[in-house]
Amino acid sequence: MNKSELIDAMAKDAGITKVAAKAALESFMSNVQSTLKKKDGKVSLVGFGTFSVAERAARQGINPATKKPIKIAAKKVAKFKAGADLANAVSGAKKK
């Protein structure tokens, strides 16, 4: 499913216009992004999952074309950990 298909599904499920669904989705994405930019930013949606930030340390890598070592800089990356309800829905496991 891509963004426009998600907007269509949200509009249909909520009984709202596609314009309103697009605005809601963009607001959600913007708020998650701005929260994650903050120090210790984290967004928890009970049952769905948690968006957070992890720090990757600098490390040594290998350029696949030249096979020479390269330095990979440290950086922050976005993480998502699925909640129990989402994990069970995807795996087909029954809820306890």
Beta bridge partners of 79: 52
Residue 55 has pLDDT above 90, yes or no: yes
Count how many domains the chain has: 2
Residue 11 has pLDDT above 70, yes or no: yes
Do residue 13 and residue 50 come from a single domain? no
Tokens 């992004």 found at = 33
Do residue 65 and residue 90 come from a single domain? yes
Do residue 27 and residue 52 come from a single domain? no
DSSP 6-72: HHHHHHHHHT--HHHHHHHHHHHHHHHHHHHHSTT-EEEETTTEEEEEEEEPPEEEE-TTT--EEEE
Contact call for residues 32 and 51 (beta carbons, < 8 A): yes
Q: What is the mean pLDDT of the chain?
A: 94
Residue 95 has pLDDT above 90, yes or no: no
pLDDT tens sequence across 24-47: 999 999 999 999 999 889 999 999
pLDDT score for 30: 97
Question: Distance between CA atoms of 65 and 12, rounded to whole angstroms?
Answer: 48
The domain of 11 spans 1-37
pLDDT score for 32: 96
Closest CA to 78 of 38, 44, 26, 33: 33
What is the rounded average pLDDT of the residues 84-93? 90
Do residue 32 and residue 52 come from a single domain? no
pLDDT score for 37: 94
Q: Check: pTM over 0.75? Answer yes or no.
A: yes
Do residue 75 and residue 52 come from a single domain? yes
Do residue 48 and residue 33 come from a single domain? no
Do residue 88 and residue 58 come from a single domain? yes
Do residue 44 and residue 26 come from a single domain? no
Question: Distance between CA atoms of 31 and 81, rounded to whole angstroms?
Answer: 18
CATH of the domain at 74: 4.10.520.10
